[in-house]
Chain A
Amino acid sequence: MASDAEQGQLQPAPESFLPKDLVEDISRDGINAGRRSLLQGAFAAATASMVAPALMADDDPDIVNLPSWTRSLGKPVVANPYGQPSPFEANIVRRQSPGLTRTDQSSVSFTPLQNLFGMITPSGLHFERHHQGWVDIDPRRHRLMINGLVETPLVFTMEELLRMPSVSRIHFLECGANTGLEWGNVAVPTVQYSHGMLSASEFTGVPVSLLLERAGFDRKRATVLLAEGADGSSMTRTINLENALDDALVAYGQNGEMLRPENGYPLRLVVPGVQGVSWVKWLRRLEVGDAPWATKDEVAHYVDLMPDGTHRQYTSIQEAKSVITAPSGGQKLLKQGYYDITGLAWSGRGNVEKVEVSVDGGRNWRAARLEGPILPKALTRFHCDWVWQGEEAMLQSRVTDSTGYIQPSRAELVQVRGTRSIYHNNAMQTWRVGADGEVHNVQLG
């Protein structure tokens, strides 16, 4: 009978596998010169015995000629105490759209959706939108105040908030102006710039409902909350109490660690399904009220201009939307054959029910495969098999959400809202694949 090792099963290492005194020795002195020369001797002997074998015609040199990393000692632990992506991923970073904003503190950086997988955005690639720069807040000096229509206005320290019952939930966060550059015509080349004010994270925090209950809010009169930030802009937004009581959080955690400063460290509001501007960062105060506040970003911005010259005010919910992230604008298919068309779908009103994909500009549609878990107000990853035979193609995706709402085409959306609304563009996106394999952002009409 073959031994366990031959069958590929690992034996647990016996206790005290290394002599106790050697462990103590190394822990105390590290690998000293004596041991180093011993080790070097061993490596020199090992490499000397590896003569590069002759390369045959079909051989892949990257297999046959063992690369340096296979023949050397790797780097030590905590070389990066906070891990960094491979240097080969240096292209995959947040980027600004040149000329979009006149300053870098009231500005936006976009998430590189074209190269991300799954349903979570790495925290360091979460898009940024600041109105007056971002700040580093000392959590020991941060407070959350709850006032307005409450029995007792309260103050919480971060320490107290972290002691309270918490929940962790995965939600998408989309700026109301995402895809806003594309209302009139094609303006940007890649999905990073067209849809990259979109991210999703697992957020950890205290339900707003719990805090309001603790403060004894006036159930009869309250209809809205004001959320306010602690930064220079002291961003204020009116929140629908319906959302606040349903699933809003006062969050400190993001993807298992504390929030990043650019995303509101140490505390931000999370209002699932609602546009990003309402997820007030560096949150310092919640005020319970009975009438909305008409703050600057509720009258001069984040208002949707209609063709008749009126602005729709307090537009908050992000309606169902989807986009193919790969292949997408600015990329190139190098070969014919199989491709996995993949993308993201989401809805501010609930779950993604169905995603369909068209490769002929919307004439014919196929159901895409949805990846689980499918969570409410979260991103859902979809896939669709495609064999490209060098023909011109027009790739589109279309989502249906759990309310039965179907994502509109650009023509359907523009017919009602015109082209100057800036906000809430959830139209279907088209990527044109040329016979040369180049993928370009286009609008059909």
Chain B
Amino acid sequence: MSSWAKALVLWLCAMVMTPWTLALPEGLDDLGRPATEGEVAAWDIDVRPDFVGLPPGSGDVWAGEEIWLAQCASCHGDFGDSNEIFAPLVLGNITEDDIATGRVASLTDPGVTRTTLMKVPTLSTLWDYIYRAMPWNAPKSLSPDEVYGLVAYLLNLGYVVDDDFVLSDTNMAETQARMPNRNGMSLDHGLWSVSGVPDVSGSACTTDCNVSVNVASSLPAYAMNAHGNLAEQVRDWGPYPGLWTEPAAEPEQVAAASAAVEAAVAPEAALTAGGCSGCHQMAGQLVGPGFAAIRAKYAGQEHAAYVRDKIVNGGAGVWGSMPMPPMPAVDDEALQQIVAWLTSGEE
């Protein structure tokens, strides 16, 4: 048993259980029936960190890669590094040292994206989760051998195992010993038990307390409408109407909630066909700025020519150093649609 596992057992046992019994009402034994072995087997698919529940089987990195490219890459990227559908699973930033110590050092660096493989301490977790829930749109369609292969492939992407590695139920434990963040978890906190001891406590001071009342952080004006027009998100007739955070001027009388403005519809098809979605999403930065930010910036017909030119010819420097490539292949009708939408200013 690893020292961490020992600590875990001690920790669990330290949770004092009050002796407890409950008399069942008469007749209650008739409710519920014994589960058959087949029923338990069909549902009890969980795998624990000590590999209790792990079905036999094996799969190698190559087999895993093949399944990955066919069934996983569309969402997670060929190398598990995509940030489009979900946060990256692997980014190739795990070091030899991390694997040796079992602590991913870069977890202290706020500049480093935290990937799944940087966090997960237990190999069983990857196996259990992929088997029960992936692919996301077709969960429980993989065989155990396929899952062994996929886990091997993910570990290979993170430099935890070599290209010719075969993962099986017999070498899970020794592979676990190479998990980069296997010693990275802490149970030293009071949040597991109702009677746990808090790590932070507030002050009881009630008069002339010595606290700073300087505003250290607030939303910058340009971000006030990142969540839409707040005036349309609160009760519009009570004591506290919402702030008007639209770029467009506030009308004399805020429209009644019942007449809420219909959202302008994004030309999804044109954006996808034009290849824009790979670099732009609606809200928030991807490779390029979010369309919401672009639309806020270029609301108004007067910007149409500029926006059209930028899409066709590309350019850099407005949102950062990352260039936008020329997109001459977008057909005219789609381009017109996109430009009209980007400059419409309508929410």
Contact = CB atoms under 8 A, between A and B. Distances in A.
A217 to B, nearest CB: 11
Which 8 interchain pairs have the tightest Cβ spacing? A445-B216, A99-B284, A99-B283, A361-B213, A406-B202, A98-B283, A331-B240, A315-B191
Given A356-B206, A444-B216, 11 more contacts: A87-B257, A88-B257, A98-B227, A152-B34, A190-B233, A210-B24, A219-B20, A296-B125, A312-B187, A348-B194, A432-B218
Interface string A414-443: 011100100010001000100000111111
A362 B236 contact: no
Given A287-B46, A294-B49, A327 B185 contact: no
Interface string B123-161: 011001100110010011000000000000000000000
Contact of A115 (B49, B188, B212, B235): B235
B245 interface: yes
B60 to A, nearest CB: 24
A26 interface: no
Contact of A228 (B43, B125, B215): B43
A32 B52 CA distance: 73
A242 B14 CA distance: 12
B320 interface: no
A331 B243 contact: yes
Main secondary structure of the interface of B (DSSP, over half): loop
B253 interface: no
7 contacts: A287-B46, A291-B8, A295-B129, A299-B122, A303-B185, A315-B192, A405-B198
Given A190-B233, A308-B108, A443-B217, A411 B245 contact: no
Interface in B1-59: 8-9, 12-13, 15, 17, 20-22, 24-25, 28-29, 31-35, 39-40, 43-46, 48-50
Interface in B70-115: 83-86, 103-105, 107-108, 110, 114
A153 B40 contact: yes
A364 interface: yes
A408 B224 CA distance: 27
B230 A291 contact: no
Nearest to A364: B207
Interface in A227-276: 228, 232-234, 236, 240-243, 245-246, 273
A38 to B, nearest CB: 34
A66 interface: no
B282 interface: yes
Contacts of B344: none
Contacts of A95: 227-228, 233
Contact of B241 (A309, A331, A349): A331
Contacts of A241: 17
A115 B257 contact: no
Contacts of A226: 46
Given A145-B39, A147-B40, A408-B202, A315 B189 contact: yes
Output the residue of B224, B234, B236 with the most chain A CB within 10 A.
B234
Contacts of B195: 349
B43 A285 contact: yes
A167 interface: no
A314 B192 contact: yes
B186 A240 contact: no
A191 B25 CA distance: 46
A188 interface: yes
B171 interface: no
Contacts of B39: 145, 155
B4 to A, nearest CB: 10
A212 to B, nearest CB: 9
Given A214-B28, A309-B103, A332-B240, A443 B125 contact: no
Given A311-B184, A362-B213, A444-B215, A316 B191 contact: yes
B309 to A, nearest CB: 27
B188 A312 contact: yes
A130 B290 CA distance: 24
Nearest to A289: B48
Contacts of A407: 202
Contacts of B84: 102
Output the residue of B12, B196, B213, B245 with the most chain A CB within 10 A.
B213
A406 B260 CA distance: 42
A443 B129 contact: no
A210 B211 contact: no
Given A236-B46, A363-B211, A92 B235 contact: yes
Contact of B227 (A188, A287, A296, A331): A188
Given A306-B186, A332-B240, A154 B230 contact: no
A103 B116 CA distance: 18
Contacts of B272: none
A331 B231 CA distance: 8
B242 interface: yes
A165 B25 contact: yes
A155 B70 CA distance: 37
Contact of B17 (A192, A242, A356): A242
Interface in A310-324: 310-317, 319
Given A295-B128, A362-B211, A153 B120 contact: no
A98 B226 contact: yes
Given A309-B107, A444-B213, A155 B86 contact: no
A88 B15 contact: no
A245 B214 CA distance: 47
A248 to B, nearest CB: 12
B31 A164 contact: yes
B206 A153 contact: no
Contacts of A310: 107, 184-186
Interface string A178-220: 0000000111111011000000000000000110011100010
A417 B200 contact: yes
A98 B207 CA distance: 40
Contacts of A87: 257-258
B240 A300 contact: no
Given A293-B46, A312-B188, A299 B193 contact: no
A406 B240 CA distance: 29
B168 to A, nearest CB: 20
Contacts of B61: none
